[in-house]
Amino acid sequence: MRALTTTPPGHDVILYDGHCRLCIAAAKQFQRLLGGHGTQLRSFREEGVLAAYPGIPLERCEHGIQLIQADGRIFEGAEAVVQALGRRAPGKLLFVYYVPGLRQVADWLYGLVARYRFRIAGRACPDGACAVHLK
């Protein structure tokens, strides 16, 4: 399988769902854990954000966070979490994700939470526009 890539941003970027309370809380945790180590967090729902990263369709963002590394490589979902936090000393433990079997379980759990994130934590849209996600 060919790795997904986009225009290299020169620093890591994490795209998250700014309409999801669970995702917003996770982004704040990323910010705390990563500190000032050059990772930018952006909601893919903000106007123009996805246009800056060609090759990342909205549908992929709807299914999980996207980590765009400085060189333009893209990781998504549970693997994005592992790659983003794995560069820090305590985060190296997350690389057990790549143990056969554990990766499949982690991806399945992540996918389940991502799919039902609006039901789990609610929406953060004041205008009700997020209701379209509750199909």
Summarize pLDDT for 20-67 with one digit per residue, the tens. 999 999 999 988 888 767 889 999 999 999 999 998 999 999 999 999
- Per-residue model confidence (pLDDT) at position 33: 86
Averaged pLDDT for residues 99-123: 90
- Per-residue model confidence (pLDDT) at position 1: 47
- Per-residue model confidence (pLDDT) at position 56: 94
- Per-residue model confidence (pLDDT) at position 135: 45
Cβ atoms of 75 and 106 within 8 Å: the answer is no
Give the pLDDT confidence of 91-109 residue by residue, as tens digits: 778 889 999 999 999 999 9
- Per-residue model confidence (pLDDT) at position 131: 55
Q: Is 51 exposed, middle or buried (0-12, 13-18, 19+ CB in 10 A)?
A: exposed
- Going by C-alpha positions, the residue among 40, 70, 46 that lies closest to residue 58 is 46
Higher pLDDT among residues 122 and 108, named by residue: 108
Q: Is the pLDDT reported for residue 84 higher than 80?
A: yes
Q: Which residues contact 13 (CB under 8 A, 6 or more apart)?
A: 39, 40, 41, 42, 53, 67, 68
DSSP 3-state of 45? coil
Q: Is the pLDDT reported for residue 78 higher than 70?
A: yes
- Per-residue model confidence (pLDDT) at position 127: 56
Amino acid at 98: Y
